[in-house]
């Protein structure tokens, strides 16, 4: 029927390069992520709905469900 939704995404900090795998929320946006290595607080880039879509290797569940095209997981 539909494709399986991946719930883990590895975020890469653009400041120090630290990578960490996180479980993505399925019913809310994650607007902030603090890098445990350097302490920088990441926010979504312009046009992205959450930190996973901006810095993760897998987009958020809502974007996955929609096929990744022109959808906001928060709107």
pLDDT grade for 62, boundaries at 50, 70 and 90: confident
Domain limits of the chain?
A: 1-29+41-75
| Pairing label, strands 8-12, 33-34 | unpaired
| The predicted structure's pLDDT at residue 69 | 58
| The predicted structure's pLDDT at residue 1 | 42
| The predicted structure's pLDDT at residue 3 | 74
The predicted-structure confidence for 4-24, as pLDDT tens digits, reads as follows 899 999 999 999 999 999 999
Judge residue 2's burial from the number of C-beta atoms within 10 Å of its C-beta, 0-12 exposed, 13-18 middle, 19 or more buried: exposed
Higher pLDDT, 59 or 67: 59
Rg (alpha carbons) of the chain, rounded to whole number: 12
| This prediction's pTM | 0.84
* DSSP reduced 3-state for 53: helix
């Amino acid at each position: 029927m539909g494709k399986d939704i991946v719930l883990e995404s590895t975020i890469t900090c653009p400041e120090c390069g630290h990578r960490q795998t996180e479980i993505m929320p399925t019913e809310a946006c994650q607007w902030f992520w603090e890098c445990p290595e350097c302490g920088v607080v990441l926010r979504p880039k312009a046009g992205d709905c959450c930190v996973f879509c901006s810095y993760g290797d897998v987009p958020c569940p809502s974007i996955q469900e929609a096929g990744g095209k022109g959808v906001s997981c928060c709107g």
